[in-house]
Amino acid sequence: MSGNNKRQFIEERHAAILKLVREHGRVTVANLCERYAVSVATIRADLVELEKFGKIQRTHGGAIPTVKGGPPVPFGTRRKLYGTEKRAISKAAAALVKDGEVIFIDGGTTAPEMAHFLGDRKNITVITPSVEVASWLHSASLVNVYLLNGFLNRDSLSVIGVPSEDFLRQMNISKAYCGAAGFTIRDGLTDVDMGFIEQKRVIIKHARQVIGLLDHTKIGVASLASFASIDEIDTIITDRRLPDEMTAELAPHQIVVVVA
Residue 208 pLDDT grade (very low, low, confident, very high; cuts 50, 70, 90): very high
13 and 127 belong to one structural domain: no
Environment class of 199 (CB within 10 Å of its CB; exposed 0-12, middle 13-18, buried 19+): buried
Q: Could you tell me which of 245, 2, 77, 27 has the C-alpha nearest to residue 13?
A: 27
What is the tens place of the pLDDT at every residue in 239-255?
989 988 899 999 999 99
User: What was the pLDDT predicted at 71?
Assistant: 53
Quick one: CA dihedral 136, 139, 141, 144, positive or negative? Answer: positive
CA 93 to chain centre: 13
Q: Which residues pair with 130 in a beta bridge?
A: 158
pLDDT at 182 over 70: yes
Look at residue 249 and tell me if it is in a domain: yes
Contact 225, 197 (CB under 8 A): yes
Residue 125 pLDDT grade (very low, low, confident, very high; cuts 50, 70, 90): very high
User: What was the pLDDT predicted at 142?
Assistant: 84
Structural domain ending residue among the three candidates 65, 95, 116: 65
The mean of the pLDDT values for the chain is 86
128 and 172 belong to one structural domain: yes
10 and 37 belong to one structural domain: yes
The helix/strand/coil state of 57 is strand
- Report the number of distinct structural domains present in the chain: 2
User: What was the pLDDT predicted at 79?
Assistant: 59
Q: What is the CATH number of the domain that holds 17?
A: 1.10.10.10
CA dihedral 80, 84, 87, 92 (to 10 degrees): -150
Look at residue 70 and tell me if it is in a domain: no
User: What was the pLDDT predicted at 193?
Assistant: 83
Q: In terms of residue numbers, what domain contains 9?
A: 3-65
Q: Could you tell me which of 90, 95, 92 has the C-alpha nearest to residue 114?
A: 90
58 and 173 belong to one structural domain: no
23 and 106 belong to one structural domain: no
User: What was the pLDDT predicted at 72?
Assistant: 55
Q: Could you tell me which of 110, 198, 183, 93 has the C-alpha nearest to residue 148?
A: 198
pLDDT at 69 over 60: no
116 and 233 belong to one structural domain: yes
Look at residue 250 and tell me if it is in a domain: yes
34 and 96 belong to one structural domain: no
106 and 38 belong to one structural domain: no
What is the tens place of the pLDDT at every residue in 21-42?
876 777 889 889 988 899 999 9
Q: What is the CATH number of the domain that holds 174?
A: 3.40.50.1360
User: What was the pLDDT predicted at 124?
Assistant: 94
81 and 52 belong to one structural domain: no
130 and 216 belong to one structural domain: yes
From CA 231, how far away is CA 80, in angstroms rounded?
31
* Entry pTM: 0.74
44 and 141 belong to one structural domain: no
What is the tens place of the pLDDT at every residue in 77-122?
665 666 788 899 999 999 999 999 999 999 888 888 898 899 888 9
**Better pLDDT: 100 or 54:** 100
Look at residue 170 and tell me if it is in a domain: yes
What is the tens place of the pLDDT at every residue in 135-154?
888 887 788 999 998 888 88
Q: Which residues pair with 56 in a beta bridge?
A: 65
Structural domain ending residue among the three candidates 11, 37, 65: 65
Look at residue 228 and tell me if it is in a domain: yes
**Better pLDDT: 186 or 156:** 186
Look at residue 94 and tell me if it is in a domain: yes
Residue 237 pLDDT grade (very low, low, confident, very high; cuts 50, 70, 90): very high
From CA 24, how far away is CA 64, in angstroms rounded?
9
Look at residue 71 and tell me if it is in a domain: no
From CA 243, how far away is CA 166, in angstroms rounded?
40
User: What was the pLDDT predicted at 103?
Assistant: 96
Look at residue 36 and tell me if it is in a domain: yes
User: What was the pLDDT predicted at 217?
Assistant: 78
Across the range 52-73, mean pLDDT stands at 70
Q: What are phi and psi of 57, to 5 degrees?
A: -125, 120
pLDDT at 156 over 90: no
From CA 195, how far away is CA 197, in angstroms rounded?
5
CA distances (Å), origin 159, targets 84, 111, 163, 240: 26, 15, 10, 31
Q: Which amino acid is at 135?
A: S
From CA 6, how far away is CA 10, in angstroms rounded?
6
From CA 166, how far away is CA 29, in angstroms rounded?
55
34 and 114 belong to one structural domain: no
Q: Which residues pair with 256 in a beta bridge?
A: 235
Contact 109, 115 (CB under 8 A): no
Structural domain ending residue among the three candidates 30, 65, 100: 65
Across the range 156-175, mean pLDDT stands at 89
